């Protein structure tokens, strides 16, 4: 956790309708010396009063609650009073509705009968609370939500677009992909996301945009108009077979703390596609993807990174920019146009 720049104490409000689970979260995250649980609440209405009283830096919130669910609470809260929210959820598509509402990140609710499950949950919660405490805003701007058609024409569809993202990335990726036409070159994506959710993320994208999106499997070919999303617990790399690129998904050690790793994908794209590659690095904490983006640029590919103002967490793009990996640093809403200019 040493790479996270945080306050001396992060004040946290824990919101959950279960008294037992409120205590599990409060005691667990309080074990970290950088976190102070200033209050707990059993429902969103009690939480509203506690926010005004204690001014927390971060809120943890369950999705399923009586009176008002966590997603509706976030939708009402954030436009008036921005506090980074880490959502607690079962394995469900609801997490993507929460991210769309403005939640910074989510943690999967554990089986409270499993000591190892609870320990893993608390470790993940502490990590994501620290990241959330650095988030500037989790809400999309009017520029990012407006759908526009990028001007220009894609000259070659045999190029490869590789995208990497972490915290805040699911909504950033959706914002970009929904503006791209079906004639766009094949796209490969690493989003730091837990297993099971990567497939849900791909299915959700597939139902919302004109491109064909699926969770990648070894043997999939990257075709124009298609998007392959790396599985949530496996690395993904590309291999050139003749004139095509084939995906390979494999188990491996974490790279930069992550599996899948953006660097693993980007470095394979640099090696296999060279000048035919466009790398895009989006919002996220840490340095994953910076080295791989530099490899793409050094091989003659084009590189784009999200700028600080539009990033939920300006970590990965910042590191890439500092090491000279970024050819163009661009607001999120302008990345589709930047892609067209790179491909034209």
Residues noted as catalytic: 166, 192, 288
How far apart CA 32 and CA 232 sit, in angstroms, is 27
Q: For every residue of 123-162, which 3-state class applies, written as one string?
A: HHHHHHHHHHCCCCCCCCCHHHHCCCCCCCCCCCCCCEEE
How far apart CA 221 and CA 238 sit, in angstroms, is 9
- Residue carrying structure tokens 């500037």: 136
Residue 213: burial class (beta carbons within 10 Å; 0-12, 13-18, 19+)? buried
User: Phi first, then psi: what are they for 108, rounded to 5°?
Assistant: -80, 130
The 10 Å Cβ neighbour count of residue 81 is 11
CB 43 within 8 A of CB 70: no
How far apart CA 248 and CA 340 sit, in angstroms, is 27
Nearest to 169 by CA among 123, 239, 121, 232: 232
How far apart CA 291 and CA 280 sit, in angstroms, is 13
* Terminal CA-CA length for the chain: 41
CB 35 within 8 A of CB 135: no
The 10 Å Cβ neighbour count of residue 274 is 15
The 10 Å Cβ neighbour count of residue 168 is 29
């Amino acid at each position: 956790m040493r790479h996270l720049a945080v306050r001396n104490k992060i004040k946290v409000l824990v919101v959950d309708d279960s008294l037992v689970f409120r205590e599990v979260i409060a005691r667990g995250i309080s074990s970290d010396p950088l976190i102070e649980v200033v209050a707990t609440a059993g429902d969103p209405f009690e939480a509203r009063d506690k926010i005004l009283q204690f001014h927390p830096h971060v809120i943890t919130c369950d999705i399923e609650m009586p009176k008002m669910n966590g997603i509706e609470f976030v939708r009402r809260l954030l436009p008036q009073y921005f506090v980074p929210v880490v959502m607690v959820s079962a394995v469900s598509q609801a997490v993507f509705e929460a991210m769309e509402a403005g939640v910074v990140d989510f943690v999967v609710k554990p089986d409270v009968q499993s000591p190892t499950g609870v320990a893993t949950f608390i470790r993940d919660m502490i990590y994501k609370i620290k990241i959330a405490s650095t988030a500037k805003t989790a809400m999309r701007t009017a520029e990012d939500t407006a759908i526009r058609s990028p001007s220009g024409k894609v000259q070659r569809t045999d190029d490869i677009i590789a995208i990497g993202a972490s915290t805040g990335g699911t909504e950033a990726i959706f914002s970009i992909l929904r503006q791209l036409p079906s004639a766009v070159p094949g796209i490969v994506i690493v989003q730091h996301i837990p297993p099971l959710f990567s497939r849900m993320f791909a299915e959700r994208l597939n139902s919302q945009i004109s491109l064909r999106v699926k969770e990648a499997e070894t043997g999939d070919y990257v075709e124009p108009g298609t998007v392959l999303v790396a599985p949530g617990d496996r690395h993904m790399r590309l291999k050139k077979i003749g004139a095509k690129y084939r995906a390979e998904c494999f188990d491996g050690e974490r790279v930069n703390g992550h599996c899948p790793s953006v660097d693993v994908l980007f470095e394979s794209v640099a090696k296999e596609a060279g000048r035919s590659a466009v790398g895009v690095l989006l919002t996220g904490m840490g340095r994953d993807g910076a080295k791989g983006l530099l490899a793409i640029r050094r091989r003659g590919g084009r590189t784009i990174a999200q700028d600080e103002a539009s990033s939920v967490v300006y970590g990965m793009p910042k590191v890439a920019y500092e090491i000279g990996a970024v050819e163009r640093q661009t607001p999120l809403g302008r990345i589709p146009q930047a892609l067209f200019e790179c491909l034209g």
